[in-house]
């Protein structure tokens, strides 16, 4: 029996690879210096959805909320095997905390029509909150299976999933539709396929038309480009707040209960410290001192 899956993905700054260059002289973060990447566990979520489709048939649609540049990870999803992609982009989404984000995502999932499974990564590396999955499930009124590692069975309207917890595993059985948040140990995400990359190379949102025309002036006009992409099913739809039928008060900064009061750079406490030369003598003296102070031995 085929299943209709939706995968929620996010483009994030690569916070795992922050170097000194990212900090400006004024002590702020230069976001432009951070590469934007596909949130790693969202790739695991996409892989799990693609595996379900391979085994049971159905469709996989990816959905992200973000700036126009987030179309990049939607294309990457198409290269890896997604059937369709939608970008939620609107200034009114900006500044959203996890609650406002989940509100917009849940509306978008509903707008896609009937669904069986929603997948997302356990957490995004820019915030590490792991909150958007459960909050979206609550807004959709469906059960959630967090820390999903393996789909053990999927039959009719029931899924059996193994969850990877801190101190063990749990196997749960749940009725569909439901939402899964997927951990990195779940699978090895497939690379983009060359064939799919060629087929979807031109996939774009209308927000990218200007840049595309600059690159391929032979299309002539935005209208001609739009007609071309629409005909070939390469147009990635962009949904705004109005198209979601969203209440403005629940979106973006306005819809976010949490506010950032202040942000501090960490003041490093200068502990009483000493240089120890990296030599045999240095190590011997260090061990002596640690033993005298009963730190070791």
Partner 1 sequence: MSDTRNVWIFVEQDGGRIADVSIELLSKGRELADSLKSELWAVLCGASVDGLAQTLIAQGADRVIVAQHKELDPYRTLPYARVITRLVEERSPYILLFGASPVGRDLGPRVASAIRSGLTADCTDLQIGDYESKKEGVVFKDLLMQIRPAFGGNLIATIVNPHHRPQMATVREGVMRRAESDATRKGSIERIESVFEKSDLALRVVSREMRESKVRLKDSAVIVSGGAGVTGAQQFDLLRELAQVLAGEVGASRAAVDSGLIGHEHQVGQTGTTVRPRLYIAAGISGAIQHRAGMDESNKIIAINTDPDAPIFQIANYKIVGDLADVIPMLITALREKAK
Q: Which of residues 118-137 bind partner 1 (CB under 8 A)?
A: 125-135, 137
252 binds partner 1 (CB under 8 A): no
178 binds partner 1 (CB under 8 A): yes
Query: Which residue stretch of 110-118, 139-147, 200-208, 220-228 sits at the interface with partner 1 (rule: CB under 8 A)?
Result: 139-147
Instruction: Give the distance, in angstroms, between the CA of residue 95 and the centroid of all CA atoms in the same chain.
Output: 16
The Cα 168–Cα 151 span in angstroms is: 16
Quick one: 67 or 127, whose CB is closer to partner 1?
Answer: 127
What's the DSSP call for residue 193? P
149 binds partner 1 (CB under 8 A): no
Q: How far is the CB of 248 from partner 1 (least distance, A)?
A: 15
249 binds partner 1 (CB under 8 A): no
156 binds partner 1 (CB under 8 A): no
22 binds partner 1 (CB under 8 A): yes
26 binds partner 1 (CB under 8 A): no
Query: Which residue stretch of 74-82, 211-219, 236-244, 251-259 sits at the interface with partner 1 (rule: CB under 8 A)?
Result: 251-259
What's the DSSP call for residue 253? T
* C-beta pairs of 191-196 under 8 Å, 24+ apart in sequence: 191/80, 192/76, 192/79, 192/80, 193/79, 193/80, 193/81, 196/78, 196/79, 196/80, 196/81
For residues 261-284, one letter each, b for 16 or more C-beta atoms within 10 angstroms of the residue's C-beta and e for the rest, the string is eeeeeeeeeeeeeeeeeeeeeeee
The Cα 71–Cα 204 span in angstroms is: 7
Applying CB under 8 A, which of residues 165, 198, 224, 227 lies at the interface with partner 1? 165
Applying CB under 8 A, which of residues 175, 193, 221, 230 lies at the interface with partner 1? 175
1 binds partner 1 (CB under 8 A): no
**Residue 138's CB: how many other CB atoms inside 10 A?**
15
Applying CB under 8 A, which of residues 173, 188, 222, 223 lies at the interface with partner 1? 173
202 binds partner 1 (CB under 8 A): no
233 in the Ramachandran plot: left (φ > 0), alpha (ψ -120 to 50) or beta? Answer: left
Query: Which residue stretch of 16-24, 54-62, 88-96, 225-233 sits at the interface with partner 1 (rule: CB under 8 A)?
Result: 16-24
Q: Which of 201, 203, 249 is nearest to 230 (CA)?
A: 203
Applying CB under 8 A, which of residues 167, 215, 217, 245 lies at the interface with partner 1? 167
The Cα 255–Cα 93 span in angstroms is: 9
């Amino acid at each position: 029996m085929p299943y209709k899956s939706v995968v929620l993905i996010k483009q994030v700054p690569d916070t795992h690879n922050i170097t000194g260059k990212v900090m400006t002289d004024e002590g702020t973060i230069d976001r432009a210096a951070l590469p934007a990447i596909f949130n790693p566990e969202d790739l695991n979520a996409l892989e799990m959805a693609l595996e379900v489709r391979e085994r049971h048939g159905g469709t996989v649609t990816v959905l992200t909320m973000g700036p126009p540049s987030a179309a990049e990870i939607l294309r990457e999803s198409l290269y890896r095997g997604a059937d369709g992609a939608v970008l939620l982009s609107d200034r009114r989404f900006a500044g959203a905390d996890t609650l406002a984000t989940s509100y917009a995502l849940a509306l978008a999932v509903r707008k896609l029509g009937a669904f069986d499974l929603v997948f997302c990564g356990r957490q995004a590396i820019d915030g590490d909150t792991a909150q958007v999955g459960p909050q979206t499930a609550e807004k959709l009124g469906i059960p959630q299976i967090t820390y999903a590692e393996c789909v053990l069975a999927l039959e009719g309207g029931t899924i059996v999933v193994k969850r990877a917890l801190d101190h063990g595993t749990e196997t749960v059985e749940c009725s569909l539709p439901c939402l899964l948040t997927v951990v990195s140990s779940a699978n090895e995400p497939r690379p983009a396929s060359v064939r799919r990359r060629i087929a979807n190379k031109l996939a774009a949102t209308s927000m990218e038309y200007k840049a595309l025309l600059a690159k391929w002036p032979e299309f002539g006009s935005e209208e001609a480009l739009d007609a071309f992409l629409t005909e070939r099913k390469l147009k990635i739809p962009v949904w705004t707040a109005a198209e979601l039928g969203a209440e403005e008060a629940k979106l973006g900064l306005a819809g976010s209960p949490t506010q950032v009061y202040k942000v501090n750079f960490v003041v490093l406490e200068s502990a009483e410290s000493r240089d120890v030369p990296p030599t045999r003598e240095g190590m011997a003296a260090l061990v002596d001192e640690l033993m005298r102070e009963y730190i070791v031995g």
